[in-house]
Amino acid sequence: MNAAVANRPAQPIKLYGTMLSGHVHRVRLFLTMLGLPFENVEIDMRKRDNRAPEFLARNPFGQVPVIEDGDLTLADSNAILVYLNERYAPDPARWMPRDAVGAARVQRWFSVAAGPLAYGPAAARIMALFGHTTDPTETVKRSHALLSVMEMHLQQQPFLAGPAATLADIANYAYVAHAPEGSVALDTYPNVRGWLERVEALPGFVPMVRTPIGLAAVA
């Protein structure tokens, strides 16, 4: 029996989250790419299901996603990506390089996903999605500053951390792809759009549900 078949969970992994979340999508995407059985458990953020005691027992921060894999409960999308890779990927080095420089490059983009991406494109989309009255101008400006850096970076290589896709790409894909929903246009970033297409061409890719808001409402 090969590793890809033998190294599987005894029962489907439970994925707690919402289909509207890019953080949840990055986990769902990697689960699908690894061919792992999982069960979506929808958390209604509008109804504040994430603040219910039973959910806070899984993640005291009240954030999605959370997974349950047997006796293990684990929160934080990037941490979950690392866990799934180390626990179930047939070749963990495929997604997380084992050399010091390669691993550091992936970690750098994890930091981008948790920082500039979260406070730029992700935040702009959330404002539109939930109808926030806050002026999005500065958030959109931060988004374009990030995309400008990514555009120059991707002129030199096809994927964020090197010549092949890694967890860095999984972690950053969704909120960049859905930036137009937060009124952040991608028209002037051909290298970024090319990168999105390369991620979408990976085996096992599944898209995140699109929401007709922002620029996507008139596309």
| Residue 157, token pair as written in the block | 């290589």
Q: Is domain 97-217 annotated with CATH 3.30.70.260?
A: no
Cα–Cα distance, 130 to 87 (Å, whole number): 36
Distance CA 4, CA 157 (A): 29
Neighbours of 6 (CB within 10 A): 8
Q: In this predicted structure, what is the pLDDT of residue 5?
A: 40
pLDDT at 218: 61
Starting at the edge strand found earlier in the chain, the sheet holding 66-69 runs 38-42, 13-17, 66-69, 72-75
Residue 203 C-beta-side C-alpha neighbours within 13 Å: 2
Per CATH, domain 3-93 is 3.10.350.10 = no
Quote the CA–CA distance of 143 and 184 in Å, as a whole number. Answer: 7
Residues 6+ apart with CB under 8 A from 112: 146, 172
Domain segments of the chain: what residues? 3-93, 97-217
Instruction: Report how far residue 85's alpha carbon sits from residue 30's, in angstroms, rounded to the nearest whole number.
Output: 9
- Beta strands 66-69 and 38-42, pairing class: unpaired
Per residue of the chain (219 residues), give pLDDT as tens: 334 444 889 999 999 999 999 999 999 999 999 999 999 999 988 889 899 999 899 999 999 999 999 999 999 999 999 999 999 999 999 999 999 999 999 999 999 999 999 999 999 999 998 888 888 999 999 999 999 999 999 999 999 999 999 999 999 999 999 999 999 999 999 999 999 999 999 999 999 999 888 888 864
Compute the distance between CA of residue 6 and CA of residue 102 in angstroms, rounded to an integer.
28
* Residue among 171, 168, 181 nearest 213 (CA): 181
pLDDT of residue 216: 82
